[in-house]
């Protein structure tokens, strides 16, 4: 009887602890979304576009569709947008930043055929991963709780 109570208390404390962890995790992610200063980000992003434009001027416009020619600049541009988004406490990538990046793509790569420039689009994948991590965590935690409760049944 005493051991039974002991395991119940342990389980109860564990569930509380898990709850605390998850609440912390969720409000943490939540705050980042709320605090995101979109106007600040939109204010800063054109600088990235500007410096990308400057760098692209060095590349012959006939070679604008050759990924090998501009990938270092594009990398720089991509890092720049990421830096500015994070400085504005926004997730990166996000819808607004993506809109801006698509505008840049249109400006430089509108004449490139998809065979020449192959854009893999990580943004959505990253976003899905960001969404799935807490879900996986929750499932793992719930499985742990279930496993522990089963184990306590066995032990009692």
Ligand X SMILES: *[C@@H]1O[C@H](CO)[C@@H](O)[C@H](O)[C@H]1NC(C)=O
Closer by beta carbon to ligand X, 14 or else 91: 91
List the Cα angle 119/60/65 in 5-degree steps. Answer: 20
Asked if the peptide bond before residue 129 counts as cis, ω within 30 degrees of 0, the response is no
- Report the distance separating Cα 45 and Cα 53, nearest Å: 13
Closer by beta carbon to ligand X, 66 or else 152: 66
Applying CB under 6 A, among 22, 36, 51, 91 the residue interacting with ligand X is 51
Q: Residue 114 interacts with ligand X (CB under 6 A)?
A: no
Work out how close the CB of 101 gets to ligand X at its nearest, in angstroms, rounded to a whole number.
15
Q: Residue 103 interacts with ligand X (CB under 6 A)?
A: no
- Report the distance separating Cα 48 and Cα 82, nearest Å: 10
Q: Exposure of 52 by Cβ count < 10 A (0-12 exposed, 13-18 middle, 19+ buried)?
A: buried
Q: Residue 43 interacts with ligand X (CB under 6 A)?
A: yes
Pair of tokens at residue 109: 């790569």
Among positions 54-93, residues that touch ligand X (CB under 6 A) are 61, 66, 68-69, 72, 76
Q: Residue 111 interacts with ligand X (CB under 6 A)?
A: yes
Applying CB under 6 A, among 1, 34, 39, 154 the residue interacting with ligand X is 39
* CB distance 45 to 84 below 8 Å: yes
Region from 24-32, 90-98, 107-115, 122-130 binding ligand X, contact rule CB under 6 A: 107-115
Work out how close the CB of 23 gets to ligand X at its nearest, in angstroms, rounded to a whole number.
24
Nearest to 97, CA basis, from 49, 41, 155: 41
- Report the distance separating Cα 3 and Cα 8, nearest Å: 9
Which residues of this chain interact with ligand X, rule CB under 6 A? 37, 39-40, 43, 51, 61, 66, 68-69, 72, 76, 108, 110-111
């Amino acid at each position: 009887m005493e051991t039974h109570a002991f395991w119940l208390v342990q389980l109860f404390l564990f569930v509380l602890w898990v709850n605390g962890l998850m609440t912390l995790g969720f409000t943490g992610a939540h705050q980042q979304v709320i605090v995101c200063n979109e106007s600040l980000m939109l204010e800063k992003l054109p600088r990235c576009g500007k410096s990308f434009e400057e760098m692209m001027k060095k590349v012959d416009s006939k070679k604008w569709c050759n990924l090998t020619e501009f990938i270092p600049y594009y990398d720089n541009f991509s890092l720049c947008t990421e830096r500015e988004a994070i400085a504005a406490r926004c997730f990166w990538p996000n819808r607004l930043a993506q809109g801006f990046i698509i505008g840049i793509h249109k400006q430089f790569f509108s004449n490139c055929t998809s065979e020449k420039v192959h854009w893999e689009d990580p943004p959505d994948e990253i976003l899905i991963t960001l969404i799935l991590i807490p879900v996986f965590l929750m499932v793992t935690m719930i499985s742990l709780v279930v496993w522990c409760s089963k184990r306590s049944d066995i032990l009692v």
